Structure 1
Amino acid sequence: MGSHVVRTLCATLFLTCSLSAPAVWAHAHLKQQVPAAESEVSPAPQSITLHFSEGVESRFSGVTVTGADDKKVETGKAVRSETDKTQLTVPINQPLASGLYTVNWHVVSVDGHKTQGQYQFRVK
């Protein structure tokens, strides 16, 4: 009977901790981006800025930008804002011509979870 009580107590403790700390199970989801998804911009952007739902680790995160012909755009390294751990910025190292661009991103949140996604924008 003693081991049954211990198992019940452990299960109750586990459930209580799980329900009281939902942030532990969270992932960094893209909340906002500049340029915005499905937008048409002019002039061409000189960087991509992504805002996530929680802090991200820049050394394990990255962004690639490709043109309509699937040609990769030259970018710099993804850098996390010093004042906002949810913001990641990637400089664009070459001028963007008119056309459709796809941004592919992957991040590891500060709690270790990996997420990824993509969106498109157009340069006028």
Structure 2
Amino acid sequence: MKSISLAALAFLVLVLATGAADAHALLDRAEPRVGNRVAAPPREVTLWFTQNIRPVFSSITVTNAAGERVDTGKAQVRGNQMSVPLRVGGSGTYHVNWHVLSMDSHTTNGNFTFQVGQ
């Protein structure tokens, strides 16, 4: 009977540990939206995450269709939101790369694109 209890306890610990890993800050939504088409180049890119993030080691870089960086530098972080202003970069595919440090001190990163122009 004890072996069944220990097995159940081990399973519970494993399930809880897996749930903790899911607590990392993941991208919830973005503006411009992921994969969306906008008529004119946006003035900024804003990302929202599933939990608050730390400003240190959190960043966004944005490049235009020519591969030129169009973000103006350091991203601003407020709670679970991170924004970076953009310079005009023309039409075509924009690439957004992000890296964040969550409040639980884990890092996550990702990327997506959006289209500018008709």
TM-score by shorter chain over 0.5: yes
Change (3 A) 1:25 1:34: closer
What TM-score do the two structures reach when normalised by structure 2? 0.79
User: Counterpart of 1:90 in structure 2: which amino acid?
Assistant: V
1:86 pairs, out of 65, 80, 83, with 80
In the alignment, what sits opposite 1:44? Answer: 41
Structure 2 spans left out of the alignment, 5+ residues: 1-8
Is the deviation greater in 63-72 or in 31-40?
63-72
Structure 1 spans left out of the alignment, 5+ residues: 1-11
In the alignment, what sits opposite 2:91? Answer: 98
In the alignment, what sits opposite 2:109? Answer: 116
- Offset of residue 23 of structure 1: 4.7
Change (3 A) 1:99 1:25: closer
- Offset of residue 52 of structure 1: 0.4
Distance 2:112 2:21 in 1: 27
What TM-score do the two structures reach when normalised by structure 1? 0.75
How many residue pairs get aligned? The number is 110
The secondary structure found in structure 2 opposite 1:19 is helix
Change (3 A) 1:24 1:118: closer
Distance 1:78 1:25 in 2: 25
Aligned alpha-carbon RMSD (Å): 2.6
Identical columns (%) = 40
From the CA coordinates, give the structure whose radius of gyration is larger.
1
